Amino acid sequence: MEVQVIQNKIYEIRGHRVMLDFDLAELYQVETRALKQAVRRNIERFEGDDFMFELSEAEYDRLKESLRSQIVMLETDGRGKFPKYPPFAFTEIGVSMLSSVLRSQTAIQANRAIMRAFVATRNYIATATTVTAELAEIRATIELLRRDGEDTLEALNDLSEDTRKHLDNLYQAIGELSVKSSKPEKPRKPIGFKSENKE
């Protein structure tokens, strides 16, 4: 019995991962009616929504609509139709409890495979959650780097503008100095006594 096939029969309902009575009956190779009767005879073992609950009509309608949209046909009554009445939904511990009610060799083997499927589903969800969290962290880091890059470029642009202004000022000062040094100076009057040479 392939774990993946069983995993496809695990649904999320009322916040629980559950399997439905007609899918379980198929795996245990018993009639759904027989499975339900066995559960009702031992109902004290399944008290509490954390073990088993019956779907409401509305929940069952939503489930059927969802399965139809996935083009899934449940052949639980031999005619490829959905069962008439809302099914029982069994949580992982509810399925485990079924092993004390249905004791055939087929049921025992099916239960082992179902437990593995629940564990595989849990592991998959845990891994997917971790990967999703890591991807979110990577996205946040990339966004932070992008913003830092924009801030850095903006700062560089500001710095370049300031540097250009300083260079312009320096060139202007150098230019002014060059103009001053190139102007011919007026001849200075000699200092001291002027002597006259008489011959």
Name the pLDDT band for 135 (thresholds 50, 70, 90): low
pLDDT at 153 over 90: no
Q: Distance between CA 110 and CA 160 in Å, rounded?
A: 73
Adjacent-strand bridge partners of 16 = 13
**In the prediction, which pLDDT does 20 show?**
94
Closest to 9 measured CA to CA, from 55, 68, 72 = 72
Mark 52-82 as b/e (b = at least 16 C-beta within 10 Å): bbebeeebbeebeeeeeeeeeebebeeeeeb
Q: How confident is the model at residue 195 (pLDDT cuts 50, 70, 90)?
A: low
Q: Does the pLDDT value for residue 103 go beyond 80? A: no
pLDDT tens-place string over residues 54-101? 999 999 999 888 877 765 444 444 435 778 889 999 999 899 888 778
